Chain A
Amino acid sequence: MDEILEMLMKDARLTAEEIAKMTGQDAAAVRKKIKQYEKSGVIVQYKTVINQDMAHDNGSFVRALIEVSINPQRDVGFDNVAERIYSFAEVSSCYLVSGTYDLLVVVEGENLQTVSNFIASKLSPLANVRSTTTHFLLKKYKEDGFVLKKGKPQKRLNISY
């Protein structure tokens, strides 16, 4: 992967100038590359990693991982059904996976009720959805490479040699 992308993945606030300095490239060239990545869809979005459990201070946030088995359709396979599913705003992630089911769908909602309702009234009745198995998420430890627990700051001794 381009080093520019690696650096932005860790810190989206880095400016083109900063990246240029740190990678020994020309600032204008870096700016141009970033623009191209944005245009071609390599860079999808700049977002902030939030610990949802802490941000929703009344605790009203639930997430479910749903295993969905579907009947693939002639010519388009799983894509059409997947699109019908991921287009719902309630779906935050949707993956086609190998194994005993087909789609792994992540659904978010305010409480158990809203998420269950969504599954019962929207997801399960969809044509070509054979079955669903729902796992409500109990605790998130690590997400996209970030450990969500706020660790004690590493006490680095002021020792020098």
Chain B
Amino acid sequence: MGGNMDDKTVIHSRISKTVERLAPSGIRAFFDLVLNMKDVISLGVGEPDFVTPWLIREKAISSLEEGFTSYTSNKGMIELRRDIDRFLSERYGLRYDPENEILLTVGVSEGVDLAVRAILNPGEKVLVPEPAYVSYGPVVELAGGKPVYLKTDLTSGFKITPQLIEEACAREGAVKAMVINYPANPTGTSYSRRELSAMAAVIKKHDLIVISDEVYDELTYDFDHTPFASLPGMRDRVVYLNGFSKAYAMTGFRLGWASGPADVVAAMTKIHQYTMLCVSITAQMAAREALRHGRKSMLEMKREYNRRRRFIVDALNKIGLNCHMPQGAFYVFPSIAKTGQSSLDFAQGLLKKKKVALVPGTAFGPSCNGFVRISYASSYENLKEAVARIDAYLKEL
């Protein structure tokens, strides 16, 4: 234990005010409890329960054996950027110039951060959905901006509507951008082409930039995913973010990409080159394999998620928890309102008494009390057992 009394006074003021004001991620706070318990069924984990398909891992291993251990260009290997352009054009009819409109990022998380920092001046406002993935608001704050939350609820299936955007813009005055994420973490909510088009009209009217996190795009079950950038007139105002973590079970590789108009991508690249330099070459080699040959494995995993999705929604509703059918990702967001408990009390009680871990809704925004997030990226046996335990817990209340 080093340090003395004099040091302490320094500690008090040396953290930036902005950072001090930020609340730590609610998910992490809760899962520090879980880490120390045994025999817990965890439905809290926001990542695939599959290991990265072997053909992708094998490519990573052999690339190391072949000596691919260097830096790459700041934007990432041109071959991978070309593969991404080809993928987007074949899948969605979207074209991005691999030379200056695509940037490889350390997961979509870095992509969100770069996009926000590239466009925001101090004090500028960004619309952020609620509930939403935990990083959007804090990242806007770190960039000196002001997040404005669009609160959605169960009655609309947690959807952002054109009306919500209109109201927020009218209330807040000048708004610079909007973050959207679909299929969404934590609700699994997604949008049809028509719903997105209606949103696009309002976005055009208020001249917003859209930061669209579409990392769960491949895990859309009931209709075809429509990238925001593919809507008429939207390409030039959308930063399209995607990655390999969810579809290809590659969370630990930390690889995503941003594609968008050249000026925004250039600005993002400027920040990336000073802070990150480039993404790991091993991850890039693996990702090329994923795009070229991983589709079959990916679709197999997707079908498995879809089966579990139907099972879990049916099972939760049967034990009396109101749960809407999500259109994508691998989360359900049931209401626990009828228990009268707060999200946190419910989650802690369930963990202590029945050893099932899920995430309290409040981790995704203060308006989400009365909800919990359940990840169904877990084996069928685990899901069955977990539902039985939740049922028992409800009956004891």
Residue pair B134, A161 in contact (C-beta under 8 Å): yes
Interface centre among B27, B35, B307 (most CB of A within 10 A): B307
Mark interface residues in A67-80 (1 if CB within 8 Å of B CB, else 0).
00000000000000
Chain B neighbourhood of A113, CB < 8 A: none
CA distance A154 to B25 in the complex (A): 26
Name the interface size band of chain A: 10 to 19
Name the interface size band of chain B: 20 to 34
CA distance A3 to B311 in the complex (A): 15
Chain A neighbourhood of B375, CB < 8 A: 160
Which stretch of B39-47, B55-63, B332-340 is in the interface?
B39-47
Chain A neighbourhood of B357, CB < 8 A: 158
Answer yes or no: A159 CB below 8 A from chain B CBs.
yes
Contact A3-B303, Cβ < 8 Å, known A22-B310, A158-B42: yes
Chain A neighbourhood of B308, CB < 8 A: 22
Residue pair A158, B310 in contact (C-beta under 8 Å): no
Chain B neighbourhood of A158, CB < 8 A: 31, 34-35, 40, 42, 44-45, 357
Residue pair A23, B44 in contact (C-beta under 8 Å): no
Mark interface residues in A118-161 (1 if CB within 8 Å of B CB, else 0).
00000000000000000000000000000000000010101111
Q: How far is the CB of A26 from chain B (nearest CB, A)?
A: 13
Answer yes or no: B314 CB below 8 A from chain A CBs.
yes
Task: Give A1-48 interface residues, CB cut-off 8 Å to B.
Answer: 3, 7, 18, 21-24
Interface centre among A154, A160, A161 (most CB of B within 10 A): A160
Number of A-B pairs, beta carbon distance below 8 Å: 43
Residue pair A154, B51 in contact (C-beta under 8 Å): yes
Task: Give B282-308 interface residues, CB cut-off 8 Å to A.
Answer: 303, 307-308
Contact A21-B31, Cβ < 8 Å, known A158-B42, A158-B357, A160-B46: no
Task: Give B110-160 interface residues, CB cut-off 8 Å to A.
Answer: 133-134
Residue pair A24, B45 in contact (C-beta under 8 Å): no
Chain B neighbourhood of A7, CB < 8 A: 307
Contact partner of A23 (CB less than 8 A), chosen from B28, B133, B310, is B310
CA distance A128 to B260 in the complex (A): 71
A-B complex: 7 closest residue pairs judged by Cβ atoms: A22-B307, A160-B44, A160-B27, A160-B45, A22-B311, A160-B46, A161-B46
User: Given A3-B303, A154-B51, A161-B27, 16 other A-B contacts at CB below 8 A?
Assistant: A21-B310, A21-B314, A22-B307, A22-B310, A23-B307, A23-B310, A24-B310, A156-B49, A158-B40, A158-B45, A159-B45, A160-B47, A161-B25, A161-B46, A161-B133, A161-B134
Q: Which positions in A face B, CB cutoff 8 Å?
A: 3, 7, 18, 21-24, 154, 156, 158-161
A-B contact list, 13 entries, CB within 8 Å: A3-B303, A21-B314, A22-B307, A22-B310, A23-B307, A23-B310, A158-B31, A158-B35, A158-B44, A160-B45, A160-B46, A160-B359, A161-B27
